[in-house]
Structure 1
Amino acid sequence: MRLLGVRVRLNAPDHEVLVILDEDSGERSLPIVIGPHEAVAIATVQAGMPMPRPGTHDLLVACVDAAGSKIRQVEITELREGTFVAEVVLENGARVDSRASDAIAVALRARVEVWCADAVLDDAAVVLDVDEDDREHVHLAGTLADEEADARVAEFREFLDTIDPEDFSDQDGAES
Structure 2
Amino acid sequence: MKPVDLVGLHVEAMSGSPVVIVREHDAPHRVVPIFVGGAEAASIAVALSGQRPPRPLTHDLMVALVAGLGAQLDRVEVTALRDGAFLAELAVSGPDGPRRLDARPSDGIALAVRVGAPLYVSEDVLDEAGTVLAEQPAEEDIDQVVADFRTHLDRLDPDALAAAIGDPPEGPGPDPSGPDEEPPERRD
In the superposition, the TM-score normalised over structure 2's length comes to 0.66
Which residue does the alignment assign to 1:52? 54
| Number of positions where the alignment pairs a residue of Structure 1 with one of Structure 2 | 132
Which structure would you say has the larger Rg? 2
Which residue does the alignment assign to 1:117? 122
Classify the secondary structure of the residue corresponding to 2:98: coil
Residue number among 3, 8, 19 corresponding to 1:5 in the alignment: 8
Q: Within 5 A, what are the aligned runs for 1:82-121? A: 82-91=84-93, 92-121=97-126
Runs of 4+ in 1 over 6 A off after TM superposition: none
Q: Within 5 A, what are the aligned runs for 1:3-152? A: 3-10=6-13, 12=14, 14-26=15-27, 27-91=29-93, 92-129=97-134, 131=136
Classify the secondary structure of the residue corresponding to 1:38: helix
Question: RCO greater where, 1 or 2, for CA within 8 Å and sep 6 or more?
Answer: 1
Supply the distance in 1 between the matched residues of 2:76 and 2:98 (Cα, whole angstroms). Answer: 11
CA gap of 1:50–1:78, structure 2 versus 1, over 3 A, is same
Supply the distance in 2 between the matched residues of 1:117 and 1:128 (Cα, whole angstroms). Answer: 19
CA shift at 1:128, angstroms? 2.8
Supply the distance in 2 between the matched residues of 1:60 and 1:98 (Cα, whole angstroms). Answer: 12
Higher helix share: 1
Unaligned runs of 5+ in 2: 140-188
Identity among equivalent positions (%) equals 38
In the superposition, the TM-score normalised over structure 1's length comes to 0.70
